[in-house]
């Protein structure tokens, strides 16, 4: 009877040790996995946005008309929609409101493609041009005083930078070069304080 009591006591201690190790491993793994998921989602969101901008550029060349992406941040979500210029004066918000410049695509949400990712600044960064510092809550749209990024049939575009991030994780930027309409995706390296392709 004494041996049986000692064996069950030893088994109980083994179970407690095993559970403690599992809890410890989970505590270590969850932040790593969570950080990896935030990173992957942010990369996917930035690449999807860059792809949509490139689609607008190709549509502009194909149609020989200006095509634009309207970007609206609504309650921490980003709505995206393509519009085509119908009256030859470029895609304008007033023409969209009056039904003159027509939608090419239905509106969609960026976080439907990459969960929790939106146009936002989620950490202290240097802007892509290196001219100023940006902090969480600053405007993530750096394309002038508009929410419309347009591409012309001549190959040029509205130049600027769109900052993309989840609530946590890396800060990404989608840069559009005005003269060429070229689109580039960058990631901010917090250690070096530099933007990397």
pLDDT, tens digit, 9 for 90 and up, residues 105-160 = 999 999 999 999 999 999 999 999 888 999 999 999 999 889 999 999 999 999 99
DSSP letter at 65? S
C-alpha 64, offset from chain centre: 29
Q: What is the pLDDT of residues 33-70, one digit of tens each?
A: 445 788 999 999 999 999 999 999 999 999 999 999 99
pLDDT given for residue 33 in this prediction: 45
C-alpha 101, offset from chain centre: 26
pLDDT given for residue 35 in this prediction: 53
Question: What does the mean pLDDT of the chain come to?
Answer: 89
Residue 85 above 80 pLDDT? yes
Name the pTM for this structure: 0.82
Query: Given 3-state DSSP classes, what are the helix, strand and coil percentages for the chain, each rounded to the nearest 5?
Result: 35, 25, 35
Q: Would you say domain 41-196 falls under CATH 3.55.40.10?
A: yes
- Mean pLDDT, range 75-91, rounded to an integer: 96
* Cα pseudo-dihedral 75, 78, 82, 83, rounded to 10: 30
pLDDT given for residue 34 in this prediction: 46
Residue 29 above 70 pLDDT? no
């Amino acid at each position: 009877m004494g041996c049986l009591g000692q064996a069950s006591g030893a088994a109980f201690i083994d179970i407690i040790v095993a559970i403690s190790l599992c809890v410890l491993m989970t505590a270590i793994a969850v932040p790593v996995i969570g950080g990896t998921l935030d990173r992957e989602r942010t990369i996917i969101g930035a690449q999807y946005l860059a792809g949509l901008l490139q689609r607008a550029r190709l549509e502009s060349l194909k149609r020989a008309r200006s095509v634009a992406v309207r970007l609206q941040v609504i309650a921490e979500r980003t709505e995206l929609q393509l519009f085509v210029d119908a009256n030859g004066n470029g895609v304008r918000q007033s023409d969209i409101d009056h039904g003159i410049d027509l939608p090419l695509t239905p509106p969609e949400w960026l976080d439907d493609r990459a969960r929790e990712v939106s146009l936002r600044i989620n950490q202290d960064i240097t802007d892509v041009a290196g001219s100023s510092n940006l902090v969480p809550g600053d405007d993530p749209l750096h394309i002038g005083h508009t929410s419309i990024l347009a591409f012309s049939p001549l190959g040029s575009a509205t130049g600027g930078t769109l900052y993309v991030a989840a609530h946590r994780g890396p800060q990404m930027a989608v840069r559009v070069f005005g003269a060429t309409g070229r689109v580039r995706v960058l990631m901010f390296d917090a250690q070096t304080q530099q933007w990397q392709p």
